[in-house]
Amino acid sequence: MSGRVSEVSVATNGQGMIDVSGLVAAEVANASSDDGLCTVFIRHTSASLVVQENADPSAQDDLERWLERLVPEGDPLYQHTAEGPDDMPAHIKAALTATSLSIPVRAGKLMLGTWQGIFLWEHRRGHNTRRLIIHVL
Amino acid sequence: MSGRVSEVSVATNGQGMIDVSGLVAAEVANASSDDGLCTVFIRHTSASLVVQENADPSAQDDLERWLERLVPEGDPLYQHTAEGPDDMPAHIKAALTATSLSIPVRAGKLMLGTWQGIFLWEHRRGHNTRRLIIHVL
Amino acid sequence: MSGRVSEVSVATNGQGMIDVSGLVAAEVANASSDDGLCTVFIRHTSASLVVQENADPSAQDDLERWLERLVPEGDPLYQHTAEGPDDMPAHIKAALTATSLSIPVRAGKLMLGTWQGIFLWEHRRGHNTRRLIIHVL
């Protein structure tokens, strides 16, 4: 076995960024890793991952509204509309951001910068349960 | 040696997404990994990687056309035109998507979600041979 | 301990791409790795990473100007303006590119393609010191 793999669920409620840094840090601590590498993977194509500023909520809000404006609902280009008006924009937003992130670990702690948080970025409306895989080496 | 590294070639024929999930899964199976991590890396800057929906081809088609509209050929901004009108848009499209992807492995299988496929995204016209590196830990 | 973790600083002077391939390659060589995996992580949310063409500087220049046009300063959408007019565009540009990159290693060398360089992409004006974490397995 190379590393420890765990799966966690995160409940979302509409579009937006959810800080999962604490959840990932807890898995790293459970793995009692010394130095190593933590990889986070999201098992969905209409939600994604991003490392962003965790201090000022207005930065997250601007990111959300900027991406919404770049990839609006109701674009006549979309053919894939059977799963709802928010589905195809969600796939595009996910393609433009990350499905996997790898963060080095030192002395059992994620080596994030001072202002960095790990976020699950929900791109769909409504309530969803999103699954993350966390691999700690 | 930390993990198994292999290189595979994929032939492309114009712009579009090619599902390489089976090819990556075969390398993971060859590595007879138990739990671990699979990293896919593309050795090019005018083609990229993406994890996207593998069920409805219209989603892939919308992704292709949306990105084509965002980064069209013939934009007067481009100075780098010596390698053809499709080259600079291809570099930009690659920069907006992924060059490497890391996917956790459990019991020798990629932990992809139900609707997730790993795609090589070709951004250039014509026939190309694209090389992927697959590292399995 | 799983792999070797090191931290390096890079001085930047305004927006643009800085080739850090040699710096990363030196860390890989120091780790005297045989086959393995190198992960580069940037500890900031207003600068990012990208693998791009290292041959023709006009390609880097076009990337810079294209992204600048897509995410201009002074957009009335921005609420997060307290840290300067270049800060919110920098966060968006970072979200659209990469915070971590994983590159397979063979015989102690990064398996980059012929025309690939690893770049730190500075999205802010002025002088900054950016920290990269390099994990070599």
For residue A93, the domain's CATH number is 2.60.120.460
Q: Please give the residue of chain B at the shortest CA–CA distance from C58.
A: B80
Q: CB distance C135–A104 less than 8 Å?
A: yes
- The pLDDT tens digits along chain A (137 residues) read 578 999 999 999 999 999 999 999 999 999 866 889 999 999 999 999 999 999 999 999 999 999 999 999 999 999 999 999 999 999 999 999 999 999 999 999 999 999 999 999 999 999 999 999 999 99
Q: Which domain holds residue A129?
A: 4-73+81-136
Residue in C129, C45, C82, C71 with CA at minimum distance from that of residue A53: C45
pLDDT value, residue C1? 54
Query: For B25, left (φ over 0), alpha (ψ -120 to 50), or beta?
Result: alpha
Cα distance from B16 to chain C (closest Cα, Å)? 20
Window from B23-37, B99-113, B121-135 with minimum mean pLDDT: B23-37
- Rounded-to-10 torsion of CA B11, B17, B22, B28: 90
- Asked if this assembly's ipTM is beyond 0.90, the reply is yes
Which residues of chain B neighbour A92 with C-beta distances below 8 Å? 62-63, 66
Chains in contact with B via at least 3 Cβ–Cβ pairs below 8 Å: A, C
pLDDT value, residue A3? 86
Q: Residue type for A68, please?
A: E
Average pLDDT over residues B57-66: 97
| Interacting residues of B83 by C-beta distance below 8 A, sequence separation 6+ | none
Q: What is the DSSP string of B85-113?
A: TTHHHHHHHHHHSBSEEEEEEETTEE---
pLDDT over 80 at B30, yes or no: yes
pLDDT grade for B1, boundaries at 50, 70 and 90: low
- The pLDDT tens digits along chain C (137 residues) read 578 999 999 999 999 999 999 999 999 999 866 889 999 999 999 999 999 999 999 999 999 999 999 999 999 999 999 999 999 999 999 999 999 999 999 999 999 999 999 999 999 999 999 999 999 99
B76-109 pLDDT, tens digit each? 999 999 999 999 999 999 999 999 999 999 999 9
User: What's the domain count of chain A?
Assistant: 1
The average confidence (pLDDT) of chain C is 96
Q: Would an 8 Å CB–CB cutoff place C109 in contact with chain B? A: no
pTM assigned to the model: 0.97
pLDDT value, residue A136? 96
